[in-house]
Amino acid sequence: MKVFLVRHGQTDTNINNLYNFRGEDINQKGIQQAEDLREKIKDMDFDIIYCSPLLRARHTAEIINSKNKEIIIDDRLEERKHGNLEGKPIECTEREIYWSYPTNVRYGTEETVQSLFERVNDFLKELKKKDYDKVLVVAHKGISRAFHAYFEGIPEDGKLLLGLENAHIKEYQL
């Protein structure tokens, strides 16, 4: 099965280098990015769309769903829960540590990388059992890091700094 992962369109916290708010929507540029992506993928025929429950991902999924496919909301695709870091500058954390798989460092009440990966691995393990040819997944940069590690492995240094940019798409073979 082919799995196509899309990151949501741009948000205001993305451009201001802040940790996202859970209820944040995409901004005007994010809407335009999603419309551009819809045009790019309009000839692709997905069996189904899975989406994060967060508004920015749902809004992106609705815009790019040109063939009106069923959208299944799956909580396992939610962005890493930033806890009390929401709205704070990204610079308040050391990014290499924040996104290091083996770290035990905590900056507050954020979800651990290991917990995020467990959610994503569980989602992909369940998806593997389905009889789809092409699946579209709309989620977040943290989810794209977990997808990358699932398919490519965790780097030896444990640093998970690769992730999709806003409204970009990446194909995987599951």
Residues in the chain: 174
What architecture does CATH give domain 2-173?
3-Layer(aba) Sandwich (3.40)
Catalytic residue among 24, 59, 78, 79: 79
Q: What is the pLDDT of residues 27-47, one digit of tens each?
A: 999 999 999 999 999 999 999
Q: Which helix (H) or strand (E) holds 142?
A: helix 141-152
DSSP string, 74-90: -GGGSPP--GGGTTSBG
Q: What is the pLDDT of residues 70-115, one digit of tens each?
A: 999 999 999 999 999 999 999 999 988 999 989 889 999 999 999 9
Give yes or no: 79 in active site: yes
* Interatomic CA distance for residues 31 and 45, integer angstroms: 22
* Interatomic CA distance for residues 129 and 122, integer angstroms: 11
Structure pTM? Answer: 0.96
* Cβ atoms within 10 Å of 173's Cβ, excluding its own: 7
> Could you tell me the residue ranges of all domains in the chain?
2-173
Give yes or no: 8 in active site: yes
